[in-house]
Each structure stands twice: as structure tokens, then as C-alpha cells.
Amino acid sequence: MKKLINYGGIIVLIAWVIWAFIVPTFAQDSDLELLYRADDFEEDGGNLFASGLVGLYTGDTPKLALKVSPPAPFELTQTGTELQAILDGTMIVPLILKTGAYQTTLASSTAEGLSGVDFRIGLNETLRAMVLVDAGDITADLGIVPEIYPTFYIFDDDVSHFTAFYQKAAVLWIDNSEKGTSAQMLFQTDRNMAFNLIALFSSGNAFDFISGSAAKMTDTNGKQTWFNIQARIDQSGTAAYDGLGVNVIESGIGSGATGDGNNIVNFAIEGVSKWRLDRTGNLITIDSLIVHREKSFAADDGEIVLATGVAGWGFAMVGDMQEFSSFTFTSAGVVTLGPDASTNVTNTDTDTNLAIYDAGSGVAIKNRLGSNLTLAIEVHYYAP
């Protein structure tokens, strides 16, 4: 019986031998190892060429992955439909990602003229968008529109909400309202959060918390608070706290004539002041009625002087109810003591008394009792 030779099996065996022995040897000589390779990729002298490829990406079904061994700077560029990876061992030059006519560039740059380079991302100038999403949303239509400024988007896990970051002229915008997502913005930390103003400015406000004309509280049967502060305190020992602390440090002040004076706090409705605490500690309420409350340690002949040209009423006490009296006064400085005046109270500047009198520059309350005493007053006054 004639023996048949299986030429097909011999060819397969030869091909297997070539693959098992020649290909590993080739890979050892190359600095570029292909982890995934399609039929239309070919390697030549450490360079990788691909035809018909219009973009470089990795995902669930990667088109291409490269491993460089030993690690070295390399260049990835695309000319037309050809993708080329070149090892040059000197520096990283631009990685250009294209889809059709659009281009995004990753590059190192020496443009600053400094020692070393910086890393830059050049967005294509049609959308100007850089997007962070889950890998499964890479191909999702996110509804992004062309931007005037380079913009960085961060989407949530189901791409229903996002926040955009962009520099618009001299203002940094953190914006989550562009698509009407109505997402809450939360700043969370277990450390101190500081807003630090480091430069001088000659006009305008330092910090603004404002509502746009359409951003209004519109509840019909519930309470709303526009600016809510909730502080939780659990102190002990000699600790102290302020629920809201304001510390004004003055290096120079104006007259205050262009506003409601110079104030630590000023509450207003539609620009009309209703309650303010001025820089001297006076409390000014609606219709410009000023309430002056003060407790001072007054040496003998020490005094508190009120404003000039005002009329009003008040009460003064010195020591532990040592002397006291209610009183009224006119804008001309005429003082009238109340019927509750204790023994040593006078409306003239007389020694051994609590003196409430016209001091020429305003009504004064003076300790003339011969020793250092605490002087306390509450006075209401206004410009008649």
C-alpha cells in the first residue's frame, strides 16, 4: 500500500517551529513589544505602522496597546491615516490624537525658556472640551456644546449631572448649571477652610454671595433661609466661641459719607439700612435712631462723650449703683435729669458728682467722684 505524505501537516509543523523559536528571538532584539496586534499593523526596526487608523484609544476592545522595555521616552504621531511610534531615547514630543479633521495634542514644551519642560494638553478648538467620565461612558453623547474657553467637565456615574471648570477672562468659573442639571454643590472637609484675599483692590466688594435676578426663594408655605449658618459647640474648661465673628482691622478710614457711615455690620432692605453697628459700637436701628451702650472703667474725671447736634434720652450709672440717673438732652446740649437721680448727680461739671452735662463738643457723662469706677450708659439719640 502506497504511503501518503500529509504535506499540510508538515507545513503547519514548520510554521509552529518558526513561531516558537524565531518570533521570541525577534522580540528580544526589539525595544517595542506588541501586546495586541491586528493584521494591518506591522513592525519595522522598532517602529509601528498602521493603515486606516484615525485615532488611538483603549477601551473594552482596544485597537492598540504598546509596551516599551526598557522604559524610555517615545513619540506617537499620526500623519494622515498612519500612526507611528518611534523610540528616540531623548525627550517626549507631541502625542497627537485625531478623529477626522479634529485634533488634540499632548506635549511637553520649552516655551517658557526655563530649565526643564512643562506638560500641556492642547484641546481641539471646535468643542474645547476635556471630559472625565466612567470608561463605559466614553462613547456616550453627553450633549456638550462648543465652548469659547477651554473647559474641563466632570460627570457623575450615570452622566446625568456634571460640573464644568473654565477660566473666563479674569474669572475662574465652577459651573454646574449650564445644562440645567440642578445639582447641589457641596464643599466638605474635616479641616479649616480658608478664603484668603492676598492683594489690594481699590473698588468693589471683597467677597460676594449674590442671587441672579431669576434666582429667588419661591416657597408658598414653608420657611426658607437665604444664608444659613449652623454651628455645633461642645466646649469645656475656659474655652470661648463666637457663632459669627467679625474683626475689622483699620489702617485708615474715610468719612463714610458715601454710604451709611463706617460700620462693623449693616443690615438693609433694598439698599435702606434697617440695623447697623457702627465702628464705635453704636447700634443704629430703623429710621436712624442710634443706641449707644457702653461700659467703661473710668478713672477720676474720666468721661464718655456723645455725638454733637443730636437729641435723645438715656440712663447712666457709676460703680455698684453708687450714683445713677435717667436724663434727656436737646441738640443744643441742654441736659435735664430724671426724677430718679441719686444724691450726687448733677447736670454741670461739678466735683464729687456723677456729672451729665453739656461739654461743648457734645453731652458728656463724667466720673468726678474721686476714685476709679465702672461707668455704664445706655443712650438713644437722633438728629432732630
Mean pLDDT, to the nearest integer, of 324-340?
95
pLDDT tens per residue, range 358-376? 988 789 999 999 999 999 9
Q: Of the given ranges (18-32, 38-52, 97-111), which has the lowest mean pLDDT?
A: 18-32
Identity of the residue numbered 338: G
Peptide bond into 70 cis (omega under 30): yes
At 14, the pLDDT band (50, 70, 90 cuts) reads very low
pLDDT > 90 in the chain, percent: 32
Q: Indicate whether 3 pLDDT > 60.
A: no
pTM over 0.85: no
| Average pLDDT along the chain | 76
Q: Which residues contact 370 (CB under 8 A, 6 or more apart)?
A: 300, 351, 352
pLDDT at site 4: 41
pLDDT at site 347: 96
Mean pLDDT, to the nearest integer, of 204-224?
87
Mean pLDDT, to the nearest integer, of 183-187?
76
pLDDT at site 243: 92
pLDDT at site 67: 43
- CA angle 304/309/314 to nearest 5° reads 50
Mean pLDDT, to the nearest integer, of 122-139?
89
Higher per-residue confidence, 199 vs 71: 199
pLDDT at site 365: 94
pLDDT at site 344: 95
Q: Indicate whether 31 pLDDT > 50.
A: no
How many Cβ atoms sit within 10 Å of the Cβ of residue 74?
19
In Å, the largest CA–CA distance within the chain is 151
Q: Indicate whether 112 pLDDT > 90.
A: no
pLDDT at site 193: 84
- Per-residue HEC secondary structure of the chain comes to CCCCCCHHHHHHHHHHHHHHHHHHHHHHHCCEEEEECCCCEEEECCEEEECCCCCCCCCCCCCCEEEECCCCCEEEEEECCEEEEEECCCCCCCEEEEECCEEEEEEEECCCCCCCCEEEEECCCCCCEEEECCHHHCCCCCCCCCCCCCEEEEECCCCCCEEEEEEECCEEEEECCCCCCCCCCCCCCCCCCCCCCCCCCCCCCCCCCCCCCCCCCCCCCCCCCCCCCCCCCCCCCCCCCCCCCCCCCCCCCCCCCCCCCCEEEEEEECCEEEEEEECCCCEEEHHHEEEEEEEEEECCCCEEECCCCCEEEEEEEECCCCEEEEEEECCCCCEEECCCCCCCEECCCCCCCEEEEECCCCEEEEECCCCCEEEEEEEEEECC
pLDDT at site 179: 52
User: Among 51-55, 123-127, 350-354, which range has the highest average pLDDT?
Assistant: 350-354
Q: Indicate whether 51 pLDDT > 50.
A: no
At 46, the pLDDT band (50, 70, 90 cuts) reads very low
Q: Which residue, 373, 359, 350, is CA-closest to 305?
A: 359
Q: Of the given ranges (31-35, 85-89, 164-168, 313-317), which has the lowest mean pLDDT?
A: 31-35
pLDDT at site 124: 84
Q: Which residues contact 280 (CB under 8 A, 6 or more apart)?
A: none
pLDDT at site 98: 60
Q: Indicate whether 35 pLDDT > 70.
A: no
